[in-house]
Chains A and B, each alone.
Chain A
Amino acid sequence: MIQENKVLSARFGTPDSCSIETYRRDGGYQTYVETLRSRQPDDIIDEVKRSGLRGRGGAGVSPGMTWSFVPKQTDKPKYLCVNGDESEPGTFKDRQILEFDPHALLEGVGISCFAFGASTCYVYLRCEFAEGIRAVQKAIKEAYEAGFFGKDIAGTGFDLDCYLHIGAGAYICGEETSLLNSIEGVRPYPRNKPPFPAVEGLWGCPTVINNVETITNIPHILKNGAEWHAKLGHADDPGVRLWCVSGHVNKPGVYEFETGFKLQDLIDGPCGGMRDGRKLKAVIPGGSSSKVLLPDEVARVTMDTPGIRALGSSLGSAGIMVFDDRTCMVDAILNLMKFYAHESCGQCTPCREGTPWVVKILQRFVDGRGRPQDMELLLDIAANMEGRTVCALADGACWPLTSIVQKFRHEFEAMIPSAKTSSGRTATAAPTGAA
């Protein structure tokens, strides 16, 4: 059995959930004010560290840890950037927070900035989020009017400004250092690390970049305590997450569960099973940049970092893409590799040249002109991309690619014209699964 635990999504779908009146009626901003009045920054950072919360943007780093790297003794201003670029294929959770509960995010912004001493926050949203942008814009205005942003907040002497910053359709801007360059108004090429943004970020000043969902967790942790959070779900990766399910299930959507449940239970239960009674073929479990799982792996995997790592994949941004037995996996990975080729910023040769090369090879398979040596070639190109670039986009492209080549070898082989396949069958040129 699997049961939703609605913490972040509790207010989604309630009438007028975006307005400051309903948010305050539901107890909103109380934790913020109490925190400013009664707690020390170091003590907040410690609480967040002890909660066991991992970042929800994909890399899974403890936000308390990131905040503790921000220098305390500095004359420079400090910044928080909220990462609402949400462009990882399969991921659509941050958008729900922006559209249904923007004040919850802003309360998190206030507490987080107070914790590491930021005086300005930029909420970075992708421009395709028209509705989310309107909701956050209005929420920021209301929060200023209510005195939650601006000068001398709640009479504590704490000053904080919060602004919206809008992107322009580039996946790479979700990478934290690309996001910084995007805000600075230069071409958003990712930066080499070190220096890490917590030390040298926006305009050379200490900057923290955190995901929308990460920041929205913060008020709940401060309100209920680190121990409460640490007990939710899996002990080594605790908390609730907004899981995004898409693809061939009857009820796709965003579901909030504590970590540690069985993926199969989510598909069979809340998601209503496979669409049209089809059979499951594969799941990409953590946004497009994670390794594919086969049905027998789906049947046993638990959705927490240790559980999914045991099968060589990752939870990433919690974007669960489900594919049925009609899906041609070669076609699916071709589609994804076109995404990475399009979104590569072009700064590093392995990524700029490798991603379109892979597209060309995969297209050859789909056109029924695959060559026997091409599978090894794909793995070889991936080996020369992974770990050799400025940012992790190239790694993220390699993980679904190599895992699909390895786990669905037979589908590639079936697309090699009249060659003897490893299973001894004679293949036809037609893609097997492409009904």
Chain B
Amino acid sequence: MFSADVIDELKEIRSHYPVAKAAMVPVLHVVQREKGWCDTESQAWVAEFLDVTAIEVFEVVTFYPMLYDKPVGRHTIHVCRTVACDACGGKELWQHLEHKLGVGRGETTGDGRFTLRSAECLASCGTAPVLLLDGERHENLTLEQTDKLLESAS
């Protein structure tokens, strides 16, 4: 399922804990990086790798917003929704993206390019509004800068 390098990386992570199960979230992050999301087959693989049951993996995957239990687009956008951003242009940024991409919260564009999600406070309140594109933070965004940013993601 994974390359030898990835398996080595996962074994290294697992070795950081006295109980293998504790590697759950870090291991799922690697799985998601490799697969795009935490599909059922990968979850079963993780269960075996960490010596737990599949339901224990499922319980964790379905709790966390940043672990995806459904496929996402090639690029994910997380727009901060919380109060400081909201008060400083976050609302407008969200509306702009919804309109531009033609999708709603949590949806993926028809060409599979972008998934648009909202996020709770991204700890960048002083540089609002803020979004993450593929996990990287972009701050103090104007709508024009946002458009340029999206163009850079094919």
Contacts and interface: CB of A to CB of B under 8 A. Distances in A.
A and B: partners?
A: yes
B143 interface: no
B153 to A, nearest CB: 15
A247 B84 contact: yes
A431 B82 CA distance: 20
B127 interface: yes
Nearest to A333: B83
Contacts of A203: 18-19
Nearest to B68: A168
A332 B83 contact: yes
B126 A252 contact: yes
Nearest to A91: B123
Grouping DSSP codes into helix (H, G, I), strand (E, B) and loop, the A interface class, with mixed when no group exceeds half, is: mixed
Given A185-B24, A185-B60, A187-B59, A339 B83 contact: yes
A253 B126 contact: yes
A166 B25 contact: yes
A335 interface: yes
B135 A128 contact: yes
B84 A185 contact: no
A163 B26 CA distance: 11
Contacts of A87: 120-121, 123
A321 interface: yes
A245 interface: yes
Nearest to A86: B123
Nearest to B88: A247
A118 B58 CA distance: 32
A217 interface: no
B50 A168 contact: no
B31 to A, nearest CB: 12
B132 A128 contact: yes
A90 B84 contact: yes
A184 B22 contact: yes
A129 to B, nearest CB: 7
B90 to A, nearest CB: 9
Contacts of B17: 183
A372 interface: no
Nearest to A84: B123
B74 to A, nearest CB: 18
Contacts of B128: 246, 252
A321 B83 contact: yes
B146 interface: no
A288 B125 CA distance: 12
A90 B121 contact: yes
Grouping DSSP codes into helix (H, G, I), strand (E, B) and loop, the B interface class, with mixed when no group exceeds half, is: mixed
Interface string A78-105: 0000000011111110110000000000
A185 B22 contact: yes
Contacts of B56: 185-186
A165 interface: yes
A168 B88 contact: no
Nearest to B126: A252
B63 A187 contact: yes
**Most B CB within 10 A of own CB, among A87, A185, A288, A338:** A185
A167 interface: yes
Given A89-B83, A128-B66, A170-B63, A183 B136 contact: no
B150 interface: no
Contacts of A323: 87
A319 B83 CA distance: 12
**Most B CB within 10 A of own CB, among A244, A245, A288, A335:** A335
Contacts of A200: none
A169 interface: yes
A42 interface: no
B19 A319 contact: no
A10 interface: no
Contacts of B64: 167-170
Nearest to A167: B25
A336 interface: yes
Contacts of A131: 136-137
Given A185-B25, A246-B126, A339 B60 contact: no
B125 A246 contact: yes
Nearest to A168: B64
Interface string B1-37: 0000000000000001111011111101100000000
B122 interface: yes
Contacts of A411: none
Interface of A: 77, 86-92, 94-95, 122, 126-131, 161, 163, 165-171, 182-188, 203, 244-248, 252-254, 288, 319, 321, 323, 327, 332, 335-336, 338-339, 342-343
Given A170-B63, A248-B88, A252-B125, 5 more contacts: A89-B84, A92-B124, A170-B65, A185-B60, A246-B125
Going nearest first, the 9 A-B pairs with the smallest beta carbon separation are A185-B24, A169-B66, A246-B125, A168-B64, A252-B126, A169-B65, A185-B21, A246-B84, A89-B121
26 contacts: A87-B120, A91-B121, A95-B124, A122-B16, A130-B132, A131-B137, A161-B16, A167-B64, A168-B64, A168-B65, A170-B63, A184-B22, A185-B19, A185-B50, A187-B59, A188-B63, A247-B125, A252-B126, A253-B126, A288-B82, A288-B83, A288-B121, A321-B83, A323-B87, A332-B83, A343-B120
